[in-house]
Amino acid sequence: MASFLDFFLPRRCVVCGAGGELLCHGCGGALTRLGAPRCERCGAPTTWPVERCRECSGRRIAFAHARAAVEYDDAAKRLVGAWKERGLRSLAEVAAEIVVGVVSRPDAYTITFIPADHNRFLERGHNPAKRLAVELGTRWQLPVVPLLRRAPGVAAQRGLSLAERRRNVRGIFEASRPAPRTLVLVDDVYTSGATVSAAATALRKAGARRVEVLTFARAVRS
């Protein structure tokens, strides 16, 4: 259904509403790219390059490092919102093009992704993280392998505080098969990093030695 609507509805920019493209040239160009300098570990923008930053120092992080293409500001939120809730599949292509323009090809042989929350997956019928992973796999010529599933009986993250989220996500994922040594873990948005860290923990238990996180957008704390 989503692809049907995608095809027949007149295209409008999901950020400003201008007719023509799903993301117009102006709005696409105005998204804040997250280049250097940054925190080497969690990818937060910093004034100069650092190994760990205020946001991630002292925290146990199971991934080697995290990179994101754009800041999760109002425009990026609109884009990701349309992509998630309205099921505009071509937005995954738009997002992937932006990612490959900002982030260099990871040094890994396999891409995997955060699995959809089961209920939300049923509501929407698609998983943006998976779609982005597939689009990136095509562009970087890397195989995309589903490796994770949600462990049964863990509450959803929606509506929880940052501290509650961090506590809640431990043990939320499990690997469904042995993981390769190095891999890229894709999600749509990096907020606290708790979700991708929990997923990286599950992947490392399944044999991964190095997990690189890659997201389209990243929340930036002021």
Residues that bind Zn ion (CB under 5 A): 13, 15-16, 18, 24, 27, 39, 41-42, 44, 53, 55-56
* CA distance to 106, 140, 175, per residue, from 148 (Å): 20, 21, 4
Rounded least distance, CB 48 to Zn ion, Å: 13
**Closer CB to Zn ion, residue 94 or residue 116?**
94
Distance CA 66, CA 26 (A): 27
**Going by C-beta distance under 8 Å and a sequence separation of 6 or more, which residues neighbour residue 78?**
14, 15
CB of 175 closer than 8 Å to CB of 199: no
Place of tokens 């991708």: 196
Rounded least distance, CB 37 to Zn ion, Å: 12
DSSP 87: -
Rounded least distance, CB 22 to Zn ion, Å: 9
Rounded least distance, CB 178 to Zn ion, Å: 30
CB of 210 closer than 8 Å to CB of 186: no
Distance CA 172, CA 204 (A): 14
CB of 33 closer than 8 Å to CB of 67: no
Rounded least distance, CB 168 to Zn ion, Å: 22
**Closer CB to Zn ion, residue 24 or residue 186?**
24
**Closer CB to Zn ion, residue 53 or residue 134?**
53
**Going by C-beta distance under 8 Å and a sequence separation of 6 or more, which residues neighbour residue 168?**
154, 155, 157, 160
**Closer CB to Zn ion, residue 6 or residue 21?**
21
**Closer CB to Zn ion, residue 13 or residue 99?**
13
**Closer CB to Zn ion, residue 44 or residue 183?**
44
Structure tokens at 103: 């982030």
**Closer CB to Zn ion, residue 45 or residue 150?**
45
Structure tokens at 109: 């042989």
Rounded least distance, CB 175 to Zn ion, Å: 26
Rounded least distance, CB 104 to Zn ion, Å: 19
| The one-letter amino acid at 134 | V
